[in-house]
Structure 1
Amino acid sequence: MATVHHPALPAVTDYPTKSSHANELDEARRLFLEELASPEADWEQQGEREGVQLWSKADPNDPYAVPTVKGVTTVEGVSAAAFLGGVIQLPGMRKLWDARFQDGHMLARYDRTTFAFYTVMKGMSWIVYPRSICGAQMNVEPEDGDPQGERMVIQTSVDEPEWAPEQKGQTRATLTLSGWQLKPDGDNLMVTYIVKIALNGSMPMPMVTMVATETPLCTGRARDVFREYGHAPYVRIPRGAAEPAIKFQTESFSDPPALPSLNTHPREYRCIFTTTEKAGESFEIVYDRRRMYADGVRVEVEGEEGAEVSDDDEGVLTVTTKSGGVNVTVIVRPRPQ
């Protein structure tokens, strides 16, 4: 059986370019905006749980399908940029707030905010196989790069049979929409998460109900992870600056230990990128000086001939390119006490 493509450097050769799944993403975004704007009467209220307002919407064509679900909560004291880049997006952080998430990686990266991905969700005992998803994601950012501006994350299933063939022991789910809206509200952030998914294959109705209940609660669990751990580092283009001529490859954050504890979590972040011939380009890596790295960070650069990094010791690393055609890895770890 063919294996799933897992490139170390997923940026496509003509990066940056329009995603080959732009049409699917545009349709998913249209649906997300439609659901956000739909009147409350279209949704069935499921009450409040763990500080999350819950709603669902049954599929009129299939009463046994997982309903479209929505969760809304407020996260105090965080920007949309930090919550997106440092809590929602990195697989190592997602493992802290999504109990069903097993693993995921990029299949191809089209630009800094758009990529194809492959994820696996855990099965439920021996009764239900793990579910895999081959999808595409785009992050919608403010045009002026305002870190306090509203952001959205859009995901939907796509077909990539060569990169992500179905695997034995897994069932391929169909993700019509996974959408996050991160809307600033003063110093806080209103987080709305809407998911429409077909799990496919055989699944007992009680487990369908459990998925419908657990999925929107991810908003509250992501909120709680931020409250306890803060956010992981994330890439930021300075407000008003042009997109740099750099091939962004991957960002990763270390997996949590079996029993999550900030004292034993390695908290290692890696940003891999490829420099172009245009030297002097720069971007920022923002880290959390309040919680995640209260004692500061230790930075290592693999590929020093390609870039250098400066640290303001207040939560911002500035990465500047020096020469072209070099694969650079910036590694951020806690500063030894």
Structure 2
Amino acid sequence: MPDLEPPPETAFDQYAEIKHPDIFPKALELLKHFLTDKSIPWVPNGTKDDVDLSTYQPDPPLPAPVCRGIGTFPKELTAEQILPVIHQLACRKYWDERYKHGFPSLRYSRKLVRFYAVQKGVGEGWFAIVAPRDFTGYSGHVKEVGEDGITRYYYLQTSAEFDDVPEVNGIVRGQTSLAGWVLEEGVEGVKCTYIVKFDPKGSIPGYLLEAVVKETPLCIARVRSFIEKKGLVPYVNMHDEFPGELRQEFLKNTAGEEAKFHDAEFQFVFSWFGAPGSFNIHFDDQWGSGVKIAAEEGTEGEDFELTKERGKVTVLVKDAAKDKKLRISVARA
């Protein structure tokens, strides 16, 4: 069958029912276990690009060892500023070398979606060494204060099966128990831990699987490099309350999907059902006043007011906008 396609925008007009209510919470508990259990015998795998690498292979062994990376982002950054570069798919193609394409297919809440993603294979046609892999499941954010008093921002993905997400010919359906990021703000910077437990399924030569396990946590360094070279991308704080019910939030690469990293330009699109109140759309303050804001659904002045300051746009939603579909885009001018 042909590749799976993104759903129509109307798929996000209401929050969907969660078919597997236990899967995401269990993945979060697994992430916390790997993060805090001091008895796990992690095997050091060296340091590269300022990321400490390690693996853990339990007994009986898994198809691929659990891999972990630990690194730091500059103290000038916050977790909320880093998160959109991690979870926005338009950014991911530039920091994840194996990522091919993907999209959210359902929304369950402000912080939880169903995702579909395809990883590149190795070689093509008769020369294919490894078939592409695809993954589907739940992707979401959690912010918690731990028993140690530390505030942690969790972003994780975990696989699940859905009748309406069939397997695709020529692509192997992989299984990810956990692909989890943990951000902790501190005086020395933002500590980042990235832990992945997955089963690639199908056939992969051992030397390639070993390379994947070792290289995967280096995504920390690539996200850091993305921010250093491109600056911050526009975003709404993931863990702030905002008026209304979110429909979609995504980055669009206005230079084209195939644009090289140097040429990439990102437009932030935020769409929701209105309710009176206010929220902020943030962007890199290095843009200064060079920001372009467009009301794509709803009427500025009637449904909402926009106030632009350095590094943010405040959206004040009026009573007239209650339950209306609203959509705003923000880009560098």
Q: Output the TM-score relative to the length of structure 2.
A: 0.87
The residue aligned with 1:133 is 135
Residue 193 (str. 1) matches residue 194 (str. 2): yes
Verify the 8 A CA contact 1:95 1:256 in the aligned structure 2: no
Deviations 1:206-233 (A, max 9, x none): 1101110111110111111111112211
Q: What is the deviation of 1:328?
A: 2.5
> Partner of 2:154 in structure 1?
152
Alignment-derived partner of residue 209 in structure 1: 210
State the distance in 1 between where 2:51 and 2:216 align.
11
Task: Write out per-residue CA displacement over residues 234-290 of structure 1, whole angstroms, 9 at most, x where no aligned residue.
Answer: 112796xx55222332322316654321xx323222122233xx4x23222111113
Return the alpha-carbon distance in structure 1 between the equivalents of residues 2 and 162 of structure 2: 13
Mapped pair 1:288 → 2:284: yes
Instruction: Give the 5 Å matches for 1:43-54.
Output: 43-54=42-53
**Deviation at 1:78?**
0.9
Shift of the 256–74 alpha-carbon distance from structure 1 to 2, 3 Å rule, reads: farther
Match of 1:231 in 2: 232
Match in the other structure for 1:183: 184
Q: Which residue of 2 aligns with 1:124?
A: 122
2:64 corresponds, among 63, 66, 84, to 66
Q: Do residues 25 (structure 1) and 24 (structure 2) align?
A: yes
**Partners in 2 of 1:228 and 1:186 — Cα distance?**
23
Larger helix proportion of the pair: 2
Counterpart of 2:35?
36
Secondary structure of 1:78's partner? coil
SS of 2:69 mapped into structure 1? strand
CA–CA distance in 1 between the matches of 2:303 and 2:54? 48
Q: CA deviation at 1:20?
A: 3.3
Tell me which residue corresponds to 2:296.
Answer: 302
Alignment of 1:220-299 (within 5 A): 220-236=221-237, 242-254=241-253, 258-261=259-262, 264-275=263-274, 278=275, 280-290=276-286, 293=287, 296-299=290-293
Is contact 2:172–2:202 with CA below 8 Å preserved after alignment? yes
Match of 2:4, SS state, is coil
Aligned residue for 1:235, secondary structure, equals coil
User: How far does residue 91 in structure 1 lie from its aligned partner after superposition?
Assistant: 0.5
Two-structure CA RMSD over aligned residues (Å): 2.4
| Aligned-pair CA distance for 1:40 | 6.9
CA distance in 2 between partners of 1:190 and 1:61 (Å):
31
Q: Which amino acid aligns with 2:29?
A: R
Per-residue deviation at 1:105? 0.8
The answer to whether the 8 Å contact 1:272/1:329 transfers is yes
Q: Which residue of 1 aligns with 2:108?
A: 110
What is the alpha-carbon distance in structure 1 between the residues aligned to residue 289 and residue 310 of structure 2? 10
Structure 2 counterpart of 1:312, from 304, 308, 311: 308
- Residue deviations 1:176-211, cap 9 Å, x none? 011110000126100000000100001111110111
State the AA in 1 paired with 2:290: G
**Distance in 2 of aligned mates of 1:333 and 1:204:** 43
Looking at structure 2, the residues matched to 168 and 247 of structure 1 have their Cα atoms a distance apart, in angstroms, of 34
The percent identity for this pair of structures is 26
For the residue of structure 1 that corresponds to 2:315, the secondary structure is strand
User: Tell me, what secondary structure is at the counterpart of 1:93?
Assistant: helix
Instruction: Measure, in 1, the Cα distance between the counterparts of 2:89 and 2:305.
Output: 24
Instruction: Report the equivalent of 1:334.
Output: 332
Q: Once the two structures are superposed, what CA deviation does each residue of 1:87-126 show, in whole Å capped at 9, x if it has no partner?
A: 1010111111111111111111111101111011111122
Q: How far is 1:325 from its partner? A: 4.0
* Contact 1:19–1:114 (CA under 8 A) maintained in structure 2: no
Deviating beyond 6 angstroms after TM superposition, the runs of 4 or more aligned structure 1 residues are none
Q: Which runs of 5+ in 1 are unaligned?
A: none
State how many pairs are aligned. Answer: 317
AA aligned opposite 1:158? A
Amino acid at match of 1:274: F
Looking at structure 2, the residues matched to 44 and 295 of structure 1 have their Cα atoms a distance apart, in angstroms, of: 49
Residue matched to 2:4: 4
